Structures are given as structure tokens and as C-alpha cells.
Amino acid sequence: MIIGAIKQKEIDDRIELDDAQVMAVIQKMVKQRKDSISQFKDAGRTDLVDVEEAELVIINNYMPEQLSEAEVAAAVDKAIANSGASSMQDMGKLMGLLKGQLDGKADMGAVSGLIRSKLS
């Protein structure tokens, strides 16, 4: 399933993917599965939820180990301190700093929410 997605991306873009691009494909697959699980739960389709959750477990085996909430919070605090961010106008700058550090190791949506809460 993962190899198929990687090959499809290579064919579509006519390139050979590097490690970062492969990780992006896998992250996209994880996000798709999570979105599908949410939609299937809302529709009451537990049979499809089970299939998507099983696929998600397999895909997550190929992801880097996820950081704990405390580690993510520490990285956000450090980025805020290092950049001097003080308002929501600095959100983009902080996300840019943290994306390289946390990409693949943390849910960037959750990181964004944490930044919002700390800056507001």
C-alpha cells in the first residue's frame, strides 16, 4: 500500500522521491486515514472504521516515533523564546521554525493549536 503510493507519486511527478518526500507521502496517507475514520464514525460505518484503523496501524509503523505532548510543548516554548514571538502575527514564523524540527514526529495541527493558545 505504501510502496504503491510512493510509486504513484513518482510516476505522477516524474521524479524519484527522496526521504523527505517519501515521509510526506506517508504523512498524507496517515492524514487521509484519520479523516476517513472520522467521517465513517459520523456515518455509523464501524465496518469501514475498523479497516481504516487497521491500515493506520500498519502505516504508523513506518513513521518516526512520535514526540510526547511535553516534548512538543517544550519545542514550542523554545521556539517562542528564540524567535521573540509575542503575538498571532508571529504564527507563520513559528510554524516555519517548528516544521523542520517536528515534521513527522508530531501532529502539526496540534502544534498549531498549541502555538495559538500560547500566543493569545
- The x, y and z cell numbers of residue 109, run together, are 495541527
**Cβ pair 55, 1 in contact under 8 A:** yes
**Cβ pair 94, 116 in contact under 8 A:** no
pLDDT of residue 103: 80
**Cβ pair 9, 26 in contact under 8 A:** no
Domain ranges of the chain: 2-60, 69-119
Identify the helix (H) or strand (E) that includes residue 41: helix 19-42
pLDDT of residue 49: 96
Instruction: Determine whether domain 69-119 maps to CATH 3.40.50.12590.
Output: no
Sequential pLDDT tens for the chain (120 residues): 999 999 999 999 999 999 989 998 999 999 999 999 999 999 999 999 999 999 999 999 998 888 889 999 999 999 989 888 888 888 888 898 898 888 888 888 889 999 999 888
Q: What b-and-e string marks burial along 74-92, b requiring 16 or more CB atoms within 10 Å of the CB?
A: ebbeebbeeeebeeeebee
pLDDT of residue 54: 96
pLDDT of residue 11: 96
